[in-house]
């Protein structure tokens, strides 16, 4: 998919609601920045949102990171899952339940992909303000695969509560 020696832009959603979510997001961001073949280029503010699905749990903290990567989508996802595991995430219990850390590959350039382990764009991102707002903070009204505009998708979920609460530490290595 990627030509040898080239790279593509990708966007990663970061979230968590257990323990110290700000520290977990920062640790995940730092780990993402250490992956060979990944260059962290921008990070959104941190947003607080009500849980989706299972409501009897703490609010989530979320952010979005833009990366430049030479990794294929599946390899990048594998690295994201490794970071989650290293930070103590255990995938048991109810779906959409509380978690220490959650890393989602949201977009991989303009790739549209559906395989057993990976769907791009992320299948639920267009329904979630806690993904779209930080993405819009980084990219403005970007075009999305399927000829959609980010601002149009954001308007469709404007009834969801979302509060900007701070930022993560990010130092560009450019």
Between residues 146 and 3, the one the model is more confident about = 146
Which pTM does this prediction carry?
0.92
Q: From the candidates 66, 99, 128, 129, give the one annotated as an active-site residue.
A: 99
**Residue 104 annotated as catalytic:** yes
Known catalytic residue: 169? no
Q: How far is CA 136 from the centre of its chain?
A: 13
10, pLDDT greater than 70? yes
Instruction: Give the model confidence (pLDDT) of 119-173 as tens digits.
Output: 999 989 999 999 999 999 999 999 998 888 999 999 999 888 999 999 998 876 5
Structural domains of the chain in order of their starting residue, each with its CATH number: 8-167 (3.30.70.560)
Q: Which of 66, 102, 128, 129 is catalytic?
A: 102
Q: What does the DSSP assignment read for 37-78? A: TEEEEEE-EEEEE--SS--SSPPEEEEEEEEEE-S-HHHHHH
d(CA 148, CA 62): 23
Q: How many CB atoms within 10 Å of residue 22?
A: 16
Question: Does the annotation mark 30 as catalytic?
Answer: no
Per-residue pLDDT tens over the stretch 48-87: 999 887 778 999 999 999 999 999 999 999 999 999 989 9
Instruction: Tell me if residue 163 is catalytic.
Output: no
Catalytic residue among 30, 66, 68, 89: 89
Cβ atoms of 11 and 106 closer than 8 Å: yes
Where does the pLDDT of residue 1 fall: very low under 50, low under 70, confident under 90, or very high at 90 and above? low
């Amino acid at each position: 998919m990627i030509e040898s020696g080239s790279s593509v832009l990708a966007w990663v959603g970061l979230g968590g609601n257990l323990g110290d979510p700000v520290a977990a997001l920062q640790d995940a961001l730092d780990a993402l920045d250490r992956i060979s073949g990944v260059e962290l280029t921008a990070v959104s503010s941190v947003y607080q949102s009500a849980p989706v699905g299972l409501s009897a749990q703490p609010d989530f903290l979320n952010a979005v990171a833009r990366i430049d990567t030479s990794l294929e989508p599946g390899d990048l996802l594998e690295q994201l899952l490794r970071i989650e595991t290293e930070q103590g995430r255990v995938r048991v219990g109810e779906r959409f339940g509380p978690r220490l850390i959650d890393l989602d590959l949201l977009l991989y350039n303009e790739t549209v992909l559906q395989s057993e382990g990976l769907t791009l764009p992320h299948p639920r991102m267009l329904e979630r303000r806690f993904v779209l707002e930080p993405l819009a903070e980084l990219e403005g009204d970007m075009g999305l695969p399927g000829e959609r505009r980010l601002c149009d998708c954001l308007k469709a979920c404007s009834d969801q509560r979302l509060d900007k609460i701070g930022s993560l530490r990010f130092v560009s290595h450019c």
